[in-house]
Amino acid sequence: MLKLNIQNETSRLRAVVLGTAKSNGAIPEIKDCYDPKSIEHVKAGTYPLEEDMVREIEEVAAVFEKYDVKVYRPEVINNCNQIFSRDIAFVIEDKIIKSNILPNREEEVEAIQYLWNQVAPENRIILPEECHAEGGDVIVWDDYIFIGTYSGEDYPNLITARTNLDAVIAIQELFTDKTVKAFELRKSNTNAKENALHLDCCFQPIGKDKAIIHKNGFLVESEYQWLVDFFGKDNVFEISKDEMYDMNSNIFSISEDVIISEKSFTRLNTWLQDKGFTVEEVSYSEISKQEGLLRCSTLPLIRD
């Protein structure tokens, strides 16, 4: 049996699902893209090549090996994009919750069925059908669960709106001892610089008491301000619109002291090092063309 344990984003990582870029499929048609950034690169002829994405993910696998983290991989499905394992499920405490994902991504969930089967049945959660939730919108922070959502009337028309209020309520009912705090995110099907695809595209806590934030990712300024006040202004690294577009908030913590980051994030990485973090720099710029980065492609299962 797999005993899951996730209490926050930064405790020492012991086991993780890392996505795979193998047999990633052909360059998608625009109508089959899930986000505006992928559409940009399809149109420009700069959509990432499978061999480059495989190389980038294996760089991350090598970092996990260095830190003695147990790495699980999805079973490879032919011609299927399986990079973003955070989308398909997420762990809170000792429970794994299956995302009600975009319908044409259902087979991605099946690729981690072998792990699902290793979890005690009472700790496997499938949310009711009307609840939409993806792991990139769910950030566990000790007594809090932060959830990115969108409640606009145009929700059904926005392929970038992934987590609804029904899911927020369902998660609150599952974890009654935690404070669930929802944040309305800015969505756009057409402009990647005006689109916070998930909460972790505009916010992420790091270390014990710090956070990376992009103000414009939040639709409601007071919700953004609540986070700044919660962590304290001096502990917050504010990223620009271009830095959000490049996915600066989507790094990944191996522990409270060690962070995996994209090597081109020079302003962020310098700040992290100045604050005492060890930064493991990797190349991930090809994968980021699909509006996802390091947190998106990892699904933590066990942290100390």
All structural domains of the chain, each given as residue ranges with its CATH number in brackets, are: 13-203+288-303 (3.75.10.10)
* pLDDT for the residue numbered 100: 78
Q: Are residues 110 and 63 in contact, defined by beta-carbon separation less than 8 angstroms? A: no
Helices (H), the chain: 36-44, 50-66, 106-110, 113-116, 165-174, 221-231, 241-245, 266-274
For residue 183, the surrounding DSSP H or E stretch is: strand 179-184
* pLDDT for the residue numbered 110: 87
Per-residue pLDDT band at 34 (split at 50, 70, 90): low
Q: What is the mean pLDDT of the chain?
A: 92
Provide, rounded to the nearest whole percent, the portion of the chain with pLDDT above 70: 95
Helices (H) and strands (E) in the chain, counts: 8, 15
Lowest mean pLDDT among 91-105, 207-221, 290-304: 91-105
Q: Which long-range contacts (CB under 8 A, 24 or more apart) does 38-44 make?
A: 38/289, 38/290, 38/291, 39/190, 40/192, 41/289, 41/290
* pLDDT for the residue numbered 195: 78
Lowest mean pLDDT among 33-47, 61-75, 244-258, 283-297: 33-47
* pLDDT for the residue numbered 209: 98
pTM of the model: 0.93
Q: Are residues 95 and 123 in contact, defined by beta-carbon separation less than 8 angstroms? A: yes
Q: What is the mean pLDDT of residues 19-43?
A: 79
* pLDDT for the residue numbered 159: 66
Closest CA relative to residue 72, chosen from 106, 21, 114, 101: 114
